[in-house]
Amino acid sequence: MAKKILIIEDEKSLVEAIAESLRGEGYEVREACDGAQATKTLQSFSPDLILLDIIMPDMDGITFLKQIRKADSPHVEVKVIIFTNLAGEKKWISDMGLEITDYIVKANSSLADLIAKLKIYLK
């Protein structure tokens, strides 16, 4: 059975490139442009990993992360990788008690590097 990934990112061309690469590797991928759309997607899709941007319209990534990390959430233990251009927020997220699997700065990561890292977490 293919591992499932939810990409939550508002930059359409970036989402398309990541999703295409992941599908080419055999993963099942769903996409959401913000936390509100992702919340709806989670009603019918249980990902093994969420790739989450922070700055998005409607519902930002931190609000979404707080929502899924609540004790009564069925997705409380899903792996979440923050994928953002904000370089210094990892400690802030950790200080809030929000567990993340990894924190990747977009500007410091190529598509190939990102896919390789996701594959490690999806073994």
pTM value is 0.94
Kindly tell me if the per-residue pLDDT of 104 is higher than 90. Answer: yes
Which amino acid is residue 7, in one-letter code?
I
Domain region containing 21: 4-121
The number of folded domains in the chain is 1
Length of the chain: 123
* Residue 52, Cβ density class (10 Å: 0-12 exposed, 13-18 middle, ≥19 buried): buried
Q: Are 32 and 6 in contact (CB under 8 A)?
A: yes
The whole-angstrom separation of Cα 81 and Cα 52 is: 6
- pLDDT band, very low/low/confident/very high, at 68 (cuts 50, 70, 90): very high
CATH assignment at residue 27: 3.40.50.2300
What's the rounded mean pLDDT across residues 45-58? 96
Given this model, what pLDDT does residue 89 score?
A: 77
